[in-house]
């Protein structure tokens, strides 16, 4: 079912470095990783050891709670390394490609298929539980995140696979293809579901990224597990923002070498990520994760963003006119001038925004009210829900609609918050408590 919806509330952040509409093919990259921490609620059990030979689609890690769910290797090759973090937490399983995959025969979509992990479930954002009956499967046809890829452009030439993917998904629940007009977060699954048919307690909704629908389709048509995505690479600190065609979980070393302003930039290991000049974000700059310059794409990400680190002082930042500062509020000159965009050629100083990763202030209690509502297109009171999450009042959270949201839905609230509260973390922690309660 195709829907066109219009969302009014929201904000498009004028982040520089919009990718050019030109796709570079990077499907030849050697190293790939599977990252269990990217998958909410996934307790990994390692199925391979370093040096093992694996084929594309072969499970690398399995969920301890539900053994049907696994994360497969995206390429054929050998397991190069298994990266663990604090408390031996499994961070990455790196596979080095050495052979091409062989063709298989057409298959049907089942929970045992290697593409199953691409289907996400709400509430909580876990992998779809095959035992649940979703009331719908939602696919957003427009990603509204800052610098996100244009999905129409990314899916050009894969129409047939996309169709096949939709058909395969329809076996489980009605599939809703939604094109949302309007500012971010119009294209977020949360916004779409809230606008069409909000989730109630005890209900489930599945969602699949549009590019992954094509990947599911490819698997169904040919039986070949070759999940590729066209990713948008951009950001104010990127040298030549472009689209790249990659296979999921690819190492971004080639991309960062091409995009970093300073070619001789010293390579840093994943552990010493601090004190570098450019931050590389896998996923949206509003909710993605930091990766090293030879790190790997996140499991569900379709963009990479290069942003200057903002670890610099700003003299009397709270008093200066701020022509270069972007703020949703109109407390800076740049904001007051925004309605007069037509007059810009006549202005002696033009508002051009510079973005970096600075917090632009210190953490404070919530003081100001009324701005979250303007970027939060849900029938939910955002501030009240956040406060219910802070105090851990589960009952109140349920009443206020916690099941309808994911942390990413609060990304803009977090962005505009003058109190600099870590809202997405607060929401994630609250959801985790509810999720653990639900499965125990």
Partner 1 sequence: MNMKWLEDWFEKIEPKGKWAWLGSTYEAFHTFAFTPKTVTKSGSHIRDAVDMKRSIIIVVIALIPALLFGMWNIGYQHFLGVEGQTFDHTILECWWFGFLRMLPLIVVSYAVGLSIEFAFAQYRHHEVNEGYLATGLLIPMIVPVTTPLWQVALAVAFAVIIGKEVFGGSGMNFLNPALVARAFLFFAYPTHMSGDKVWIANDLWGSDAIAGATPMGELAAGSHPSASALDMLIGTIPGSTCETSVIAIALGAILLLMTGIASWRIMLSVFLGGGAMGLLFNAIGYNDYMQLPFYYHFLMGGFAFGAVFMATDPVTAAQTNSGKWIYGLLIGAFAVLLRVCNPAYPEGMMLSILFMNCMAPLIDHCVVSRNIKRRERRIGR
Window 250 to 289, contacts with partner 1 (CB under 8 A): 279, 281, 285-288
Q: Does 89 bind partner 1 (CB under 8 A)?
A: no
Q: Does 363 bind partner 1 (CB under 8 A)?
A: yes
Interatomic CA distance for residues 13 and 146, integer angstroms? 6
The interface with partner 1 within residues 141-180 (CB under 8 A) comprises 146
Out of 383, 386, 389, 430, point to the residue binding partner 1 (CB under 8 A): 383
Which residue lies nearer to partner 1 by CB, 4 or 379?
379
Asked if residues 252 and 288 have their Cβ atoms less than 8 Å apart, the reply is: no
Supply 439's token pair: 């499965």
Residue 373 makes CB contacts below 8 A (sequence gap 6+) with 9, 381, 382
Which residue lies nearer to partner 1 by CB, 264 or 362?
362
The window from 74-82, 118-126, 184-192, 369-377 that contacts partner 1 (CB under 8 A) reads 369-377
Q: Does 405 bind partner 1 (CB under 8 A)?
A: no
Q: Does 407 bind partner 1 (CB under 8 A)?
A: yes
Minimum separation from the CB atom of position 356 to partner 1 (A): 7
20-39 per-residue burial string, b: 16 or more CB within 10 A, e: under 16 = eeebeebeebebbbbbbebb
Asked if residues 210 and 190 have their Cβ atoms less than 8 Å apart, the reply is: no
Q: Of 127, 149, 157, 388, nearest to 284 (Cα)?
A: 149
| Residue linked to tokens 């939910």 | 380
Which residue lies nearer to partner 1 by CB, 28 or 361?
361
Minimum separation from the CB atom of position 240 to partner 1 (A): 21
Asked if residues 206 and 137 have their Cβ atoms less than 8 Å apart, the reply is: yes
Which residue lies nearer to partner 1 by CB, 111 or 310?
310
What are 79's strand-pairing partners? 95
What track of x and - describes contact with partner 1 for positions 228 through 247 (by CB under 8 A)? --------------------
Q: Does 419 bind partner 1 (CB under 8 A)?
A: yes
Which residue lies nearer to partner 1 by CB, 130 or 198?
198
Count of residues engaged in binding partner 1, rule: CB under 8 A: 76
Supply 405's token pair: 């949201």
Q: Does 90 bind partner 1 (CB under 8 A)?
A: no
Q: Of 323, 311, 137, 107, nearest to 219 (Cα)?
A: 107
Q: Does 399 bind partner 1 (CB under 8 A)?
A: yes
At residue 357's C-alpha, the angle toward residues 355 and 361, to 5°, is: 95
Interatomic CA distance for residues 392 and 397, integer angstroms? 8
The interface with partner 1 within residues 303-342 (CB under 8 A) comprises 305, 307, 309-319, 322, 325-332, 335-336
């Amino acid at each position: 079912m195709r829907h066109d919806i219009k969302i009014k509330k929201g904000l498009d952040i004028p982040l520089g470095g919009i990718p050019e509409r030109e796709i570079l093919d990077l499907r030849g990259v050697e190293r790939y990783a599977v990252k269990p921490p990217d998958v909410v609620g996934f307790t990994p059990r390692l199925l391979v050891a370093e040096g093992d030979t694996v084929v594309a689609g072969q499970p690398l890690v399995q969920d301890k709670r539900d053994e049907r769910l696994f994360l497969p290797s995206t390429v054929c090759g050998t397991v190069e390394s298994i990266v663990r973090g604090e408390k031996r937490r499994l961070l990455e399983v790196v596979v080095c490609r050495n052979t091409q995959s062989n063709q298989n025969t057409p298959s049907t979509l089942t929970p045992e298929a290697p593409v199953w992990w691409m289907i996400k479930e709400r509430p909580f954002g876990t992998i779809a539980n095959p035992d649940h009956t979703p009331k719908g499967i939602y696919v957003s046809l427009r990603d509204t995140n800052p610098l996100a890829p244009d999905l129409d452009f990314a899916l050009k030439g894969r129409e047939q696979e996309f169709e096949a993917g939709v058909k395969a998904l329809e076996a489980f629940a009605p599939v809703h293809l939604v094109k949302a007009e309007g500012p971010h977060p119009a294209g977020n699954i949360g916004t779409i579901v809230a606008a069409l048919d909000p989730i109630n307690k005890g209900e489930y909704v599945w969602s699949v990224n549009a590019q992954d629908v094509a990947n599911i389709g490819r698997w169904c048509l040919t039986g070949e597990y070759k999940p590729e995505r066209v990713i948008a690479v951009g950001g104010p600190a990127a040298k030549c923002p472009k689209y790249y065609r990659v296979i999921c979980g690819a190492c971004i070393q080639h991309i960062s070498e091409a995009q970093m302003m300073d070619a001789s930039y010293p390579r840093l290991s994943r552990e010493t990520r601090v004190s570098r000049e450019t931050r590389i974000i896998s996923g949206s700059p509003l909710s993605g994760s930091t990766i090293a310059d030879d790190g790997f794409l996140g499991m569900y990400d379709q963009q990479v963003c290069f942003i200057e680190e903002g670890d610099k002082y700003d003299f009397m930042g709270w008093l200066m006119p701020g022509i270069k500062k972007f703020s949703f509020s109109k407390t800076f000159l740049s904001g007051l001038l925004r309605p007069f965009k037509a007059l810009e050629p006549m202005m002696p100083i033009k508002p051009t925004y510079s973005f970096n990763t600075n917090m632009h202030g210190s953490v404070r209690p919530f003081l100001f009210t009324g701005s979250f509502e303007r970027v939060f297109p849900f029938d939910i009171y955002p501030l009240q829900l956040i406060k219910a999450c802070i105090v851990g009042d589960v009952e109140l959270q349920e009443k206020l609609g916690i099941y309808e949201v994911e942390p990413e839905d609060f990304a803009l609230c977090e962005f505009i918050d003058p109190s600099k509260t870590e809202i997405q973390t607060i929401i994630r922690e609250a959801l985790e408590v509810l999720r653990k309660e639900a499965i125990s």
